[in-house]
Structure 1
Amino acid sequence: MANQRTYGSGLVRDVDLLEVLALPEARDGLGVSRIAELSGRDKAQVSRALATLADAGLVSRDEHTRAYRPGWRLFALATHATETHLAHLAAPFLRTIVARLNETTHLCVLRAGQVFTLRSELASHAFRGLGWEGVGVDPFTTSPGRVLLSEWDEETVGQWWRTFAGGAAHPLPDLPGSTQEPPPLTLDRLAGKLAGIRKRGYETVDEEFEPGLVGVSAPVYGFRGDIVAAVNVSAPKSRLGGRLPAAGRFTRTVADRISAALGAPG
């Protein structure tokens, strides 16, 4: 029992150090002496604790300045916790879309150049888009991907284009029965589409990601006012193709409700 109490109190002290590193003053890192001062602890104890946290990836130490900052594992844990909370909070809102449109609905985020689905709510149709959760897809030819890029400035979008599309025009899939090859997606065309999203508040795709598949997406904003996710509806063109604008407007309305639940301003 004594060991359990010692471990618990040590964990609390380690958390105190992590909270110090989250202060605005620590933006460029803090040395051991300053961390000890702010936490009210002995410098030698703080040094040992920071070394242990660094071994676990929870803090990192600059070899030149010897300043400590939050580590990669802390960011990974925070991202996972945030996404888990977001997926849980969004679930009833996604079911609202399914009830209205009777189509499968997804909550998507951007990771390492790809769009990942955090949660799906399934419709009663045979086509349900099963297996999308945890699978990364192209951001440029999908409506959630474009929505997630839509708040970025031109320079950032261009950097992403050069990194993840190789700087070349992005080919679109050939459509069955068509005798003409669809024009590829260029950076200029993408910029125009992103401008349209900012104006409408949602995006549509018509057989750009996969022949016979259409979709709509709208942005979800976090408490800082930035886009943290996209709500997506995907379905065969035979069912949803004739009502894409209406589906986009409704999806935008529900996405705005999720944003409000997250404390987004405005």
Structure 2
Amino acid sequence: MTQAPHTGHGLARDIDLLEALASPQAHRTGGLGVAQVARLTGREKSQVSRTLRALADAGLVERDADSLVYRLGWRLFSLVARGTDGRLTGVAEPVLHRLAVATEETVHLCVLRDDALLTVRTVSGHSYRTSGWEGHRAPLACTSAGRVLLADATPDELYVRFGAVDDLVPGHPDATARTVPQLWQAIREAAERGWAEVREEFEPGVSGVSAPVRDFRGRVVAAINVIGPSGRIGDRLGELGRTTAAAARAVSAELGWAPGAG
């Protein structure tokens, strides 16, 4: 009788550490040190160090041998992938690789999870930002993938999802869709174009495009996203958008989507 509460409490504290390693700060820096995790979670450094070592032994986090920072580990990503539609990831994998080679940029497969997007697969043709994305959650309103994933939502559904808030993305000062009406307009523009474009709204110096993956019903079930430094891809977002949209259509066709059917 006395062990169950203790076990649950311990699990919740472990999850706090994982949440810290999935935070925007951890994403920006490629991981966090013990002191940073302790500060974010309000726990003692020695306790955090012991717990992170145990999580690393289980494969849920990993420690960089050079910088000594921790990041989310392979086993956690494996669990996420297994929890995602296996057919989606299986069909998308070769398409993501071809797209990465064709664009020479970083490519992501993203899905909708509650009030955020979740990156479930990352492929890159070079070393730019190849780690730290899988398993990462990001806002919907200021990302091209988020706007694509919300393509099926009505304005009423957007209000239900986000509530009557004055600012959808307070931590992203360069975001252009800050209210539900602005987000709805951005979603409609992306739908008409066939892909969404975002220039440095989610992260300074980074731009990207995303296109929708649809299932046999025509419902959006994922987004294929291509990102890169604005100085390199900012002038060719249209080209990248068309290429990404073609890749997304190829995955959709494998999932049984037939445009115009019925």
TM category (shorter chain) comes to 0.5 to 0.7
Letter in 1 for 2:88: L
- What is the match of residue 138 of structure 1? 139
> Among 108, 111, 132, which residue is 1:109 paired with?
111
In the comparison of the two structures, how many residue pairs are matched?
A: 179
Letter in 1 for 2:101: A
- What is the match of residue 248 of structure 2? 255
Percent identity over paired residues? 37
CA contact (8 A) 1:172 1:185 kept: no
Q: Does 1:119 align with 2:112?
A: no
- What is the match of residue 165 of structure 2? 167
User: 1:82 Cα shift?
Assistant: 5.1
Larger radius of gyration: 1
Name the CA distance, whole Å, in 2 between partners of 1:184 and 1:195: 12
Name the CA distance, whole Å, in 2 between partners of 1:100 and 1:214: 18
Name the CA distance, whole Å, in 2 between partners of 1:153 and 1:127: 36
TM score, norm. by length of structure 1: 0.63
Letter in 2 for 1:110: L
Name the CA distance, whole Å, in 1 between partners of 2:137 and 2:199: 20
Comparing 183-192 with 222-231, which one deviates more in the overlay?
183-192
Letter in 1 for 2:158: V
Q: Does 1:240 align with 2:233?
A: yes
User: Where do residues 174-185 of structure 1 align in structure 2 (5 Å cutoff)?
Assistant: 174=173, 185=178
Letter in 1 for 2:150: L
| Counterparts in 2 of 1:184 and 1:254: CA distance versus 1, 3 Å | closer
User: 1:212 Cα shift?
Assistant: 0.5
User: Where do residues 51-130 of structure 1 align in structure 2 (5 Å cutoff)?
Assistant: 80=82, 83-124=85-126, 126-130=127-131
SS in 1 for 2:119: strand
1:47-76 deviation digits (Å, cap 9, x = unpaired):
xxxxxxxxxxxxxxxxxxxxxxxxxxxxxx
> Among 190, 203, 210, which residue is 1:217 paired with?
210
SS in 2 for 1:115: strand
Name the CA distance, whole Å, in 1 between partners of 2:236 and 2:218: 29
User: 1:211 Cα shift?
Assistant: 0.5
| Counterparts in 2 of 1:129 and 1:141: CA distance versus 1, 3 Å | farther
TM score, norm. by length of structure 2: 0.64
Name the CA distance, whole Å, in 1 between partners of 2:173 and 2:84: 38
**5+ long unaligned stretches in structure 1:** 1-76, 176-181
| Counterparts in 2 of 1:174 and 1:152: CA distance versus 1, 3 Å | closer
Name the CA distance, whole Å, in 1 between partners of 2:182 and 2:235: 24
